[in-house]
Every structure is written in C-alpha cells, then in structure tokens.
Structure 1
Amino acid sequence: MIKNYFVVAIRNLMRKKLYTFINVFGLGLGLACCILMALFVKHEWSRDQFHENHDQMFRLVAQRVQSDGKAIPFNIWDTVYPLLVVDELKDEILGIEQVCAFMRHTRSKITRGKKSFRSAMGFVSGDFFAMFTFPFLSGDPTTALDQPDGIVITETIAHKFFGGVQNYNALIGQALSIKNKLFVVTGVMADVPTTSSLQFDVLVSTKAEKGFGLVRHYHDASAWIFVQIGETNASQALDDLNHWPKKEKLREEIFKTSFNFILQPLTDVYWNTDIPNHYGPQGNPTGVYILWGLAWLVLLIACSNFISLSVAESSGRAKEVGLRKVVGANRGQIIQQFWSEALVLSFLGLLVGTALTEILLPVFNGFVHQKLTLAYFDDWWVLLLLLGIVGLIAGSYPALVLSRFQPVLAMKGEARPGGRNLLTRTLIILQYAASIALIIGTGIMIQQQDYVRNKNLGFNEEQVAIIKTNRQLAKPYKEAIVNDSRIEGVTITDRTLTTESGYSWSNYSLPDGSIVEIKVIGVDVDYLSTLEIPLLAGRNFSEDHPTDRDKAVLINETLAKQLSLENPVGKTLAGFGRNGVKDPVVIGIVHDFHIKSLHNRIEPLALLMENYKYGPFLLIRMRPGQIFETIEMLKSTWEKVAPNMPFELSFLDENLNRQYANEVYWFRVLSHSALVAVLLSCLGLFGLASLAVARRTKEIGIRKVLGASVHHVMWLFSRDFIKLLLVANIIAYPVAYWMMNQWLTNFAYRIELGIGVFGIAGILTLIVALLTVNFQTLKAARRNPVDALRDE
C-alpha cells in the first residue's frame, strides 16, 4: 500500500510539471540557503572547542578601575603581560595547573635556500602544547620547543618549502632561516583550524629572544597569558590572583592605575567584543544570531510557499478525492497519500537543495572567508531531520483540508478549501513583511556606506601609499625619494590611521579634576603637509627648533576644548608625557581628524615629533596620473636602500575602507537574504493567486458573460493582494526602523532615517507582487467563460 502511495504521488507530480518545478525549486532554494547559513553558524559556534580541556582554559585579562571604583573600557594593553609572568604564576598561584604565553609576531620572512615566504610566526612558552591540543603530524609536542632554536611548522609551510612531502618524519632536523638565525624543524602540525582564536603558520619558543626583541622585564607588556585551572578552582584562583603580591609590580610598570584580574574563558576570546583580540579574528555574536534567524526565516518561507501552492492546487483535485472516497478510501488513507506526495516533493527539494549547496558553497566560502564543507556522513541526521520536518509541515495542512471533502460535493466540483484561507494569507503577509524589512535594511546600509565614503575625515587620503619600515631605514629611504618629481610629500609616523586599537595613550588631569585619555601619535615635520591636515593656530614642528623633539606637542581641537583654556598655544601640559617627552608645551592646534573609523567619535589627540613607539611607517603622497610609475620607482629605490627587507606597500584609502569590512559583509548578507525572501515570497503569492483564481473560476466566467473586461477582472484580484501588502508594510516599517536604528548606533557618525527608503521598499515590493499576481490572473481573465460554466 505504501509503495502504491509513492507511485501515485510520483505520477501526480509528473503530470503537473509547473507546480512540481515551483515546489521543488522553492524548497530546494530555501533548504540550500538554510544549509549554507547553518554551516557557517555551526562553524562559528565551535570556536576553540577542539582543544581537549577548552572548558578549563582561560585568558588572563586586566580590568582597569577608576578612582570612583568604576571599571573603564578595555584597552589593548589590558590583555598582554610580560613573559616573566609565565614563570611565576604556576609556582605562586594555587589551582593553576598549566600556564603559557602566546605572542604572534608580524608576518616574518622565512628562508630556505632560494625559497622565501612571509608567514605568521608565533612565540610560545611554558605549557603551550600541553594546553592547546593542535594535532601533530610529526615530532613530539611535549618537547618540540624545549630547545631555543626549535621551530614547529604547519602542513602548508612544510609543502611550501619541501614540496610534496610524503613522510613528515623526514622533515625533523631540517633547517629554516628567520632574520639570519637558523632554526631546526622539531615538529610538523596540521594546519591551524579556522575555528581557532590563535592563528599562525610557524611557532618558535620565547627562548629565541635574540633578534626578535623579546625581553623579560615587568615594563614589557608583550604576550597573551593563558592558564588552565581545575574545574573547581577557578573562583579561588581568581581571588588569589587579585591578592598576588606581584600584581602591584604590574600596576606600576604596565597599567599605571588600579586594576583587577579577570579570567576570560578560552571559548569567549573570539566572541567578547569588549576585550580586543589583536592576535586573531574577532567574532560578532549578534550577527551570528541574526544569520541563524535568517536561515530559519528562509526555510519557513519556503515551507509556507509549499503549503500555499498545495492548497491552491487542491481545488483541481477535489474530484480525485471524491472518487477515492467513493471507491472506499478513508480519510487516513487520503492523508497518507498527500503526505506521500509531500515527502516525495521534500526529498526532491532536498536533492535540489544539496546540489545548490554544493554549487553555491565555493561562492559562499569566498563571501564569509572560510573553508566550509558539507559533511554528509557527519550531518546526515540533520538532512534527514530537515526532510522529515519539511515534508510533515508542508504536507499536513493540504492533506487535512483535502481529506475533509464530502464525496458528493467533490464529484460535482463544488468542494473548495473552506474559509478565506486565513493561514495562507497570514503567511503571505508575514513573508512580504520580512521581505520589505530586509529591503529597507539593505537600502539604509547603502545610504550609510555612501555617507562613510563621502565623509570628510579631516585629511586627504587619496593617492597616499603606506610602506612599513624600521627606525634605521625610515629617514634614509625618505631622503632617497622625497625629491622625486612624482612625489608630493613624504612623512614618517608610527600610526597609519587604519586601526581601531593599539594607539599609545597617556592619562592627563583636566582643569576640572577629571581624567582624560589622550591618544598619542609620533610624527615628523612633514606630517601635516603630506596628509593635508589644517593647522588652526600656532606653528608646526620645525627642524629649526631642536627642543620640539622632547618639549613640544601639537594637539587637536577636541583636546583644546577640553583644556578649557582661551588660548592653549604656549601652555604647558604638566604631567603629560611619553617616551622621554615630559611636560611639553603646546605649539599648535590642528583641525580635528579621524584616527579611527566612523564607529568612534574623535578623541583627544597629541602629536609628538619623531617620538615613535611603533613602526615606523612612511606615508607617501603620489602625484595623480603617475601611480604605477611611482610604485616602480619606490620599489627600485627600496631594493637599493634595503636589499634584505621585503617591500610592503599598501594604500591608505584602501586600508581605511577595510575598517568597514564588517558592514560590507552584513550588507551582502542582508541584500542576498532580501533577494531570496522576495523570490520565495513571489512563489507564495503565485500560489495564493492560483488559489483565488481556482475558487472564483465560475465568478470570473459570469462576470465576463455580463461584460467585464480583462482589466476589470485583473483589478478584482489585484485589490485583494494590495490590501495584504498594505498590512505587510504596516508590520514591516516599525520593525525595520527599530532594527536599522539599532544597527546605526554602532556609528558615532551616521545618517538620519528618512521616509524615502521606506517608501521605495513598499513601492518596489508592490510592483513585483502585482506582476506576480497578474501573471496568473491574466490567464484566468482570458479564458473562455464557457469552460468555467460548463458544469452548471
């Protein structure tokens, strides 16, 4: 009997190719989108959980405390500590079972013979491999970095330097060179999983200090510290940490203020956006929840479309139901028949969905910058669960409706789905409300991105190249290129204006007694002219004033206002200092300019002459129209000045745009979700139009006999759907307004929400919906009325 149900189901579906195609494609598209987003969500939620003892591992974080006892936002330095701490914690704090340090170096040049690659290098110490269970392909993780010249490489690096490796054991003892220092391969590990908060290509021991600037003093904050604590000892260990005698030493040497230790779970490192994660990617928990919600929204829309189309098609199958009941079929058998069809459709939809997933997965991976795969053997139960849920939900309503038909009425063609199909109409309203809200969100994101692109940042970022250098090469290279006719300006600085964190800072007491955190940038005399930053008062730094290097400071408008002085120029910033500069005199005030993205308000800023804590970097303004020739000149000059260093050039405007990569990502997510939602909603509307036409076939025939035109019949149906869309707009507008207003709060500088984008979204969906409805009603309006009234 069950076999017969499925045979009949397949025959029925093959007879109605259009409905079958729409149902299968709609379900397939919905399932594909759901599977893709579910794969990403699963990947994100599994961050750092592959380590065996991840639930007992913590990152050591400091929370600075003001004099009034209020905790202030985390700074990047609140997450790093001296390497010396590793040697002391395990011995002095009870409950800490393991402790290690991790510090990721900049991408370093690794050489073997004529092969040379730049790779992310990490320095580790202590019990790193005892805590972090990265899989090894060769070597002993417990002893791999015991020797100072040992190096552990990943599988990818092994293939880069040693070709198609078959036996990784053969690589043990091979030599690699970093900064003219030889290292011996002591281990080969699998590539670091993309779900790891720590990302690196090679690892060396912190014992390899020479040439890398690693020191072991309390004034050096350089490494993340991870601890592993027994399940019942976390609270006691934290209490011991906050009463640790060495804590006072850290306060004096690093934080310069009172602080408390915090134990941040390893699995929170990726997710906690309040604490900087400068050694790896930063997660967006809200975004993942939104994506998970969108996945279910798309799947529900696909299922509701199936219901709409099945109910619409039920009018044409009333006689079939009546005939089955006449020959003895009971209601349960009819329900099983329609469930069989639903399951067949669901299975076909699942096949189409998995095929679309495989086709779209490479594109989606590029979109989310991951390497996701659909593991059929690992996730088979998920696919079967989706198949069962979709089949039962999508088949239940039409099966229950059709099975209630009376045989006599069904044979006469008078049986129709009862009521005004409130469920189907409700589903259409909710689908279009979601579609309209997504379209509005996409439009507002476009407006905000346009605002960000055109906002005056206070400096000219066009045609400015950034070259990373060091203190020894910065001035010689600048002198070698500054007089070239293709160069309009060159400056040396320790910040590139393209990062959100890591700025040097100094606390300063304002006249009203409050404390302000002043960001500090080291610059040279050509900084303002190269970036075209206006000087509002006073003078610029000058080589003619030798004391400018340790006794002068330029401040921005924001700091000048907070000083509450009528004319700050000439005044001394008593108590302010950095890197040897103490109590400098304000020699000038510069126009406010953005040193961070527009997510942040302009902060108090001080510029110090040739006081470089980082870098430094060269900012080079090129003459327009000669960019490629200028780059070649810069490269050839670099090879003469620094033949042993890689030439690293990027552009300021491109780096500034990368600050909004997250917004671009969510714009793509929202716009693609809106496109899929509109497409699926149109399929649902097509089903509702089919249902309406089927229920009112005789009415259309009578109206045409009485003289109604095609346009009159089309308007008769369109006005009902216009009402549904008006209700959808009423629901969508406040939801979209709240949703996007919340999103815009991430920006300190933002657009104001206007009615334009709301109106455009409503009109756009109305046009698309009417085209969908009229495609179906036009066929009904052109039919011969005799065909509609033949049974009368």
Structure 2
Amino acid sequence: MRIAREFVQNFKRFKTAGILNVVGLSVAFAAFAVIVIQLSFQEGYDRFHKNADRIFRMELLFPMNLQYAAFGPTPIGGLLKDQSPLVDDYFIIANSHQSVFLKKKADGTTDKFKAPINSATASFADMLGINVLEGDARQALTEPDMLMLPQSFARTWFEDGSAVGKQISSGGKVYTVAAVYEDMPLNSIFKNTCYTRFVEQEEWGNWDGQIFVLAANSDRDALQQQVNNLKIETLDQIFEGLHKKEQMEQEGKSYLRVSPLTDIFYDNTVIYDTSDKGNRRNAAVMLAVGILIILIAGINFVNFSMSLAPTRMKSINTQKVLGATVMTLRLRLLGEAVVYTCVAFLLSLGILQLFSMSGLSGLFSMSLAPANHGLLLGGVAGLAVLLGIIAGIYPAFYVTSFEPAVVLKGSFVMTPKGIRLRNGLMAFQFVISIVLITCTLIMGNQYRFMQHYSLGYQTENIAWMILDDKIEKNQEALISEVTAIPGVLDYTFSDYVPGNDFVSSSGTELDGEAIQLDRIGVYKNFLDFFGMTLVKGDNFSASNLSGYQLIMNETAIQKQPVLDRYFGRNIPQDIVGNGQFIGVVNDIHYMSLRKPVAPLVLLCSAGQEYSYMFFKIAGGDVSQTIRQIRHVYEHLAPEGIFELHFLDDSLQQKYESEKRLMQVVSLMGGIAIVLALVGVYGLIIFNAQYRRKEIGIRKVNGATESQIMFLLNKSFFRLLFFSFIVACPVAWYAMSRWLEGFSYKTPIYWWIFLVAGVITLIIALFTISWQSWKAATENPVKALKTE
C-alpha cells in the first residue's frame, strides 16, 4: 500500500514525466501485444488439429526440375499405408475451385451462393479431428453426390433448420448434405469449404492430389528413412525414362519428402503449393520491431527516472537520516517502477480494444480483441512486471548510492560514468530511429517497384470475368452479344488469369531430354489483345486452327534448347497438345514478381473452351459498360453469379502481404520512433536540469541565447552523426536479407539512407531545440537562486 501511495504522490509531483512514462509504456505494451498476437496466429498454423504432430504431407520429387511438389499421383497414399509400418492412415485432398450453388425455395424462386468446393478421401475428417456437429462425415466423403458443409455455410444456406438431408445443386449436379462440421480456425491450410468425395484412381501420370499420412509417432526422421527404403517401381521407371535418376541420386534426393503439417505454412520451397504461405523474414522483421519497441520503452523509463534523480535525491537522503535502510529505499523505488509498468499494461488493454475496433485492425489476420487472447496477454503482463524490475533496478541503485555530502554538493550528477551511460542510451535511440525509417522507406520502395514493374503486357482498362459452364459451351453467342456493347473495344479468352502463381504445368521427354513447360490455353487474338511481342515466327492463325498451334516464350528456348529444333514442326508429345510450334514470344511476367519467369507455352485450337473472358473497356461510361456486360452474362447464364474484376486491381492484390507488412512496419516503426524521441526528450531535460547553474552563469557573463542553445545541442548532434554511421550498415544488412525473398527487387539506393538521416535530424532538431530554447531563455537569477 505504501508503494502505491508513494506512486500516486510522485505521479502528482512529477506529472509531465509520469504521463510520458505511462503513455509511452502503455502504447509500447499494446503495440507489442498486437505483434505477439499476429505472430502467434502464424506460428499456430494447423497446430490445433487432433493429430497435428503425427500428420505429414508427402511431397513428390518433380522429375523435370528435381524440385519437390505439393501434389502427386494418388496411388502413393495406398502404397504408403500398405508398405510402411509407420503409416497408420492417409487422406488425399484436391485443390478447391469456386462454384455456384443453387437452392430452390418453396415459393419457386432460387437462392444463389458462390463458394469453394473441394474433394477429399474418407479419412480426412477423422485424421484432422474435425468436429462434426451433425450427420456423417464419412458418408459425405465416400458416397457420390454428397456434401459436408461448414457450420457458417449451413446457417446461411438453410436458415429453416437442420441442413442434413437437404439438397442443393451446382454445375448441373444435385448434392445432398450429409454432414455439417464446426468451422475450423482461420490459421489452417485446410479451409472451411464444401467437401465431397475424392475418387482415387490407379493413374500415375496425373498429379492431382495432396497426400497426407498419419504416422504412428511424431518422429519425422524415422518416417523419412522408412519412406526412402520403399521400392516404387513406377517412379523408378519415370525417372529412368527421363534420365533423371542418376542426377537425383547425385543430389541426395529421394522420390518422397516427408513434411510435417505444422511446417507447411512457412515452407516456400515446394512448387505447385496452393496453401497459405507465411514468410519467416517478414515474421522476423515484425518480431524485431516489437522487441525494439519494448527496449525503447524500458530505456525511456530509465531516462525519465534519471532525469528526476536530482529532485528526488534530497527526499531520499532525508529518509536515510530518519532511519530507512538503503535496501528498503531501493525496494520501494523498485516497487514504484513495477507499479508504473502494471498501470501502463492495464491502460494498454484499453488501447488494444480500441485498436481492434478501428480500421487499422484490418492489417492483421485475426481479431485483436483482448478477450480472445487471455493467455498471450497474461504473458505480456508478466513481461510488464519483468520490465518494471529490470528498468527500475539501475535508477533505484543510482539514486540511493550517494553520500549526503555529495548530494549537497551536486557533483554526482555529471560523473563521466553517468554521462557515458546517458550518451549511450541516446545513441541507441537514434540508431533505432534511423534503422526503422530506412527499413520503412526501402519496403515502400519495393512495394512500388512491384506495382510499376513492366510485366511485358498491357494491364490498363482490362477487365475479366469467370465463365459459367453454360457460357463456356456457348462461346459464339457470348462473343456476338459482347461485341455489340459500345464500351467493349476488344475481347479475348484464356484458361488462366495473369498474376496467379499457380499455373498448369506438364513435363515429358523430348529427344532424350526432360522438358517442363507451364501451359496456358488462349484464344487466337490473345497476343494482340495484351500487346505481346513476337520474337520470331507467326502469331496464331484463325485460318489454320485444325489442330493445336503453339507459341513459346524466350525462357523456354533458352533453358531447354531441344525445343528450338522443333521450331516450325509438330511436337508430338502430349505436353503441348500434339501441336505445331509456330512462334516465340517475348518473356512476360505472367506470375507475380515473387516468381522468376519460367518456360511457358501458349496453346490455341479451334473449339477450345476457356474459363475466363477478358475485355478491353473504353474510358467513358465504365459503369454503363459493366451493366451491359452483366446483362449479357445473366441472359446467357441465369443460374450463374456475375463478377467482373479489373486486371490491374487483381494484380495489385497479389502483393497484399507486402503492402500489409509495409503498413504494419510503418505503424509500429512510427510508434517506436516517437517513443525513441520521447526518450531523447527525457535525456535533454536531464542534461538541461543539471546544467542550469552553468547556463545561468554564462548568461550573466554575456552569453546569448543562440550560444547557449549551441552549447546544449552540439553534443546531441554529434551523437546523431555517430548513430547515422552505425545505423546505415545495420539497415542495409537487414533489408538485403529481406529482399532476398524476391525474384525481382529494387536496388537499395544510397539516398534512402540520407533521407532517413535527414528525417531523424529534423525531428530531433525540433525536439532538442525546443527544450534547449526553454533552458536558454530561463531567467538566470532563478537558476542561481535555486542552486
């Protein structure tokens, strides 16, 4: 109670320092809590499943490039269960796709719902421990035309009671709901979608499923060793036929790689992986910023405690004279520091609640409401107590360590040791500020670089829509009606939308060499529509589309020269549709800039059906043009759901993770910078307080205000220059490592470091000069009297 009473008294006595202390600490704790919650969400990916530590994904070595792929031939699952004693069970899951579901209502009208649908084998729900609320999950995943729905879908689609036994149609097929499951947490690679059965086939050529196994224990190495010892003749034949087995053995790779379910989120080395992906570098950046914020808050606490030392010294020594022991006084001061951090933590909960209700909370992947994170916030509370103890130890020992005679003389305040400590703390604050500003500027530069990088094709004023199954089969009617719309300048079709990192790919052997090509089916005017440039050969010819025509990119020829031998001829393998190789197009960045340009073939043939239609829209009344396109769509596909997207917008959405990271680092970095400068402000107060007598004497002897300000400021700006020299290589190293995660990245320009230094200088100049001006303009008589 006494500690609390002294805290209140000292808070009232030193209001400015008290308010800055509590506000700074509470903001720091709230910011750190936000970062911890986000990182905990990411680290918790798929750890909540019943058998999470015993579930592994089988990643198959792709024979063309000897990289591990997320998808593989489905017979692998049964083979592993039969031949590996450590494999208790397995399931296979396919990639989801969007579908329109139709539900007939009693009044004869139809409700439409657009949702993803996926297929999985029977053990999917049992192995993951999915909580089935009603119905039979195994029935849904083993019998034809059955569905397993998440609870969120069931409530929306069937408001009039239980969903089990109800029917809903999609793609001309009528499904019966066999089970409803409780929605899984969002931090999972398995999404809350509709699930239906996956039909396993003895087909080794189609890699269309992800294979997960349930092991007898969590020993990954033991399972990997057992898998390595399996004899899989079909894979032997595939790799030997492509002359890859010897290379595979030289590189020490096996056909199958065992990957723990809980590691998949952060593993970016797997190709053809459609699951959510995190980035360890980004997580490290966020954690580093969070730790810096806590460090800064602790340093600020020490700064303000030291700045109050002269004022509190006489009171402390009076208590010594009255019989209080040094240890008692130190414990009181330490307890007061802990009270400060605990009060700040309680205030941080209110800040966190307000933040969770603001628009800024959208930068994060989950709810930030404190009520949802009791355990994590308990850990932050423990950190607050620990910070109070650590940050309170030095001031407590410092203030009680001087003899009364020294205190009365006042010489203790400017000891070389104390000066070095304060200068070190200030330099640390400046270094952090410069590093954070530099990192924020470079991240922003990378984001803008990706936004404006030349992709090699046109993106402006281009819209696209997904085609309903009925429209796909009625292409001529669609073209006829769309071309009658005045605002549509041109159109084309494709089975792929540029910017998507998951593109169909195939591999085979050609003249004894293994080749691999990403493949995109396109309409005859695709190149002209997107403004792509032919390097050699001919464009697709509408008059000669009796079979497939093939156009490859430059990378395909450069990396796989065997293809160039077939220029102008038919390539017989199925990989390219058994078509004629007629041209080479310039390289375009058809995937995001995270991925390097890969070998690509564009295929075109008469009567080909496509998944997407693209429009070049005039810049006049765009909304009217969209309404007319909607009318055409709804006329030709009354059961479909119309959605039109602009290509430049959808391309920008591919970089949302980089944008969000930049915004988070900017937000948290801004907080850290403000806290750092608040700490600098505290040190300036400290310095000015101890030099009041010197300032008064100099003014009495004729020193001007500008001379006094120069005297007080020169050491700070010398420290700032030193901090800039230290901060530049630190920031350069951190950002060089971060940029390694991009295939295409901005240079780190020298002027960014200069800008960061100038920004810090300007902020510090205002902060320091304000307090220096106050000290320089104080009446010298007042300063000398108080001394």
Aligned equivalents of 2:560, 2:82: Cα separation in 1: 47
TM superposition shift of 1:251? 6.3
- Do structure 1's residue 530 and structure 2's residue 529 form an aligned pair? yes
| Change in CA separation of 1:8 and 1:126 when aligned onto 2, cut-off 3 Å | same
Given residue 97 of structure 1, which amino acid in structure 2 is its aligned partner?
D
Aligned equivalents of 2:21, 2:265: Cα separation in 1: 40
Aligned equivalents of 1:781, 1:17: Cα separation in 2: 23
Aligned equivalents of 2:609, 2:12: Cα separation in 1: 70
Residue correspondence of structure 1 range 368-517 to structure 2 within 5 A: 368-374=364-370, 375=372, 377-379=374-376, 381-411=378-408, 415-416=412-413, 418-419=415-416, 420-469=418-467, 470=469, 471-506=472-507, 517=516
- Do structure 1's residue 152 and structure 2's residue 153 form an aligned pair? no
| Change in CA separation of 1:661 and 1:691 when aligned onto 2, cut-off 3 Å | same
**Hey, what does 2:250 align to over in structure 1?**
none
Aligned equivalents of 1:51, 1:493: Cα separation in 2: 39
Given residue 100 of structure 2, which amino acid in structure 1 is its aligned partner?
K
Aligned equivalents of 2:744, 2:434: Cα separation in 1: 26
TM superposition shift of 1:742? 2.5
TM superposition shift of 1:753? 2.3
Q: Is the 8 A contact 1:58 1:228 kept in 2?
A: yes
Aligned equivalents of 2:561, 2:90: Cα separation in 1: 48
Q: Is the 8 A contact 1:444 1:740 kept in 2?
A: yes
**Partner of residue 73 from structure 1, selected from 67, 75, 82:** 67
Deviates more, 1:470-479 or 1:675-684: 470-479
**Hey, what does 2:249 align to over in structure 1?**
none
Q: Is the 8 A contact 1:141 1:187 kept in 2?
A: yes
Aligned equivalents of 1:560, 1:99: Cα separation in 2: 40
Deviates more, 1:518-527 or 1:432-441: 518-527
| Change in CA separation of 1:237 and 1:333 when aligned onto 2, cut-off 3 Å | closer
Aligned equivalents of 2:434, 2:524: Cα separation in 1: 54
TM-score where L is the length of structure 1: 0.90
- Per-residue CA deviation, residues 153-181 of structure 1 (Å, 9 max, x unaligned), is 2221122123387xxxx443333333343
Given residue 87 of structure 2, which amino acid in structure 1 is its aligned partner?
I
Structure 2 SS opposite 1:789: helix
Given residue 554 of structure 2, which amino acid in structure 1 is its aligned partner?
E
Aligned equivalents of 1:379, 1:452: Cα separation in 2: 35
Aligned equivalents of 1:603, 1:454: Cα separation in 2: 21
Residue correspondence of structure 1 range 587-606 to structure 2 within 5 A: 587-606=582-601
| Change in CA separation of 1:244 and 1:478 when aligned onto 2, cut-off 3 Å | farther
Residue correspondence of structure 1 range 294-373 to structure 2 within 5 A: 294-362=289-357, 363=359, 365-373=361-369
**Hey, what does 2:279 align to over in structure 1?**
284
Given residue 126 of structure 1, which amino acid in structure 2 is its aligned partner?
A
- Do structure 1's residue 191 and structure 2's residue 189 form an aligned pair? no
- Per-residue CA deviation, residues 280-317 of structure 1 (Å, 9 max, x unaligned), is 31121222222222211111111111101110111121
Given residue 489 of structure 1, which amino acid in structure 2 is its aligned partner?
D
Aligned equivalents of 1:731, 1:546: Cα separation in 2: 65
TM superposition shift of 1:140? 5.0
| Change in CA separation of 1:237 and 1:347 when aligned onto 2, cut-off 3 Å | closer
Structure 2 SS opposite 1:60: strand
**Hey, what does 1:95 align to over in structure 2?**
86
Aligned equivalents of 1:61, 1:349: Cα separation in 2: 49
Q: Is the 8 A contact 1:308 1:688 kept in 2?
A: yes
Aligned equivalents of 1:233, 1:341: Cα separation in 2: 50
Aligned equivalents of 1:376, 1:449: Cα separation in 2: 32
- Per-residue CA deviation, residues 506-544 of structure 1 (Å, 9 max, x unaligned), is 45769xx97553333222221112111123433211121
Deviates more, 1:18-27 or 1:434-443: 434-443
TM superposition shift of 1:11? 0.8
Structure 2 SS opposite 1:131: helix
Residue correspondence of structure 1 range 211-226 to structure 2 within 5 A: 217-226=203-212
Aligned equivalents of 1:573, 1:449: Cα separation in 2: 43
Structure 2 SS opposite 1:578: helix
- Per-residue CA deviation, residues 43-70 of structure 1 (Å, 9 max, x unaligned), is 111111112221111111112357xxxx
**Hey, what does 1:211 align to over in structure 2?**
none
Aligned equivalents of 1:612, 1:96: Cα separation in 2: 46
**Hey, what does 1:758 align to over in structure 2?**
753
Tell me the C-alpha RMSD between the 2 structures. 3.0
TM superposition shift of 1:12? 1.0
Residue correspondence of structure 1 range 609-688 to structure 2 within 5 A: 609-610=604-605, 615-688=610-683
Q: Is the 8 A contact 2:352 2:368 kept in 1?
A: no
Given residue 17 of structure 1, which amino acid in structure 2 is its aligned partner?
K
Aligned equivalents of 1:93, 1:142: Cα separation in 2: 24
Aligned equivalents of 2:432, 2:272: Cα separation in 1: 34
Aligned equivalents of 1:371, 1:34: Cα separation in 2: 15
Deviates more, 1:133-142 or 1:251-260: 251-260
The percentage of aligned residue pairs carrying the same residue is: 25
Q: Is the 8 A contact 2:92 2:210 kept in 1?
A: yes
| Change in CA separation of 1:562 and 1:285 when aligned onto 2, cut-off 3 Å | closer
TM superposition shift of 1:346? 1.0
| Change in CA separation of 1:337 and 1:382 when aligned onto 2, cut-off 3 Å | same
Aligned equivalents of 2:560, 2:219: Cα separation in 1: 48
**Hey, what does 1:33 align to over in structure 2?**
31
- Do structure 1's residue 178 and structure 2's residue 187 form an aligned pair? no
Structure 2 SS opposite 1:581: coil
- Do structure 1's residue 132 and structure 2's residue 122 form an aligned pair? no
| Change in CA separation of 1:540 and 1:784 when aligned onto 2, cut-off 3 Å | same
**Hey, what does 2:569 align to over in structure 1?**
572
Given residue 425 of structure 2, which amino acid in structure 1 is its aligned partner?
L
Q: Is the 8 A contact 1:556 1:590 kept in 2?
A: yes
Aligned residues: 767
Gaps of 5+ in 1: 208-213
Aligned equivalents of 1:606, 1:539: Cα separation in 2: 14
| Change in CA separation of 1:318 and 1:65 when aligned onto 2, cut-off 3 Å | same
Structure 1 SS opposite 2:542: coil
**Partner of residue 45 from structure 1, selected from 43, 52, 55:** 43
Given residue 501 of structure 2, which amino acid in structure 1 is its aligned partner?
E
TM superposition shift of 1:744? 2.8
| Change in CA separation of 1:629 and 1:261 when aligned onto 2, cut-off 3 Å | same
Q: Is the 8 A contact 1:269 1:277 kept in 2?
A: no
TM superposition shift of 1:786? 1.2
**Hey, what does 2:58 align to over in structure 1?**
60
TM superposition shift of 1:625? 2.1
Aligned equivalents of 2:90, 2:562: Cα separation in 1: 50
TM superposition shift of 1:193? 0.6
**Partner of residue 684 from structure 2, selected from 648, 667, 689:** 689
| Change in CA separation of 1:576 and 1:405 when aligned onto 2, cut-off 3 Å | same
TM superposition shift of 1:335? 0.9
Q: Is the 8 A contact 1:238 1:262 kept in 2?
A: yes
| Change in CA separation of 1:741 and 1:611 when aligned onto 2, cut-off 3 Å | farther
Structure 2 SS opposite 1:52: coil
Aligned equivalents of 2:229, 2:606: Cα separation in 1: 36
Q: Is the 8 A contact 2:121 2:142 kept in 1?
A: no
| Change in CA separation of 1:424 and 1:136 when aligned onto 2, cut-off 3 Å | farther
Given residue 58 of structure 1, which amino acid in structure 2 is its aligned partner?
F
TM superposition shift of 1:461? 0.6
Aligned equivalents of 1:377, 1:266: Cα separation in 2: 26
| Change in CA separation of 1:90 and 1:777 when aligned onto 2, cut-off 3 Å | same
Given residue 121 of structure 1, which amino acid in structure 2 is its aligned partner?
I
| Change in CA separation of 1:613 and 1:656 when aligned onto 2, cut-off 3 Å | farther
Residue correspondence of structure 1 range 218-297 to structure 2 within 5 A: 218-231=204-217, 238=224, 241-242=227-228, 244=230, 248=234, 252=238, 260-276=255-271, 278-297=273-292
Q: Is the 8 A contact 2:92 2:124 kept in 1?
A: yes
Aligned equivalents of 2:211, 2:772: Cα separation in 1: 68
**Hey, what does 1:23 align to over in structure 2?**
21
Deviates more, 1:304-313 or 1:5-14: 5-14
Structure 2 SS opposite 1:790: helix
Structure 1 runs (4+) deviating above 6 angstroms are 253-257, 563-569, 611-614
Q: Is the 8 A contact 1:489 1:621 kept in 2?
A: yes
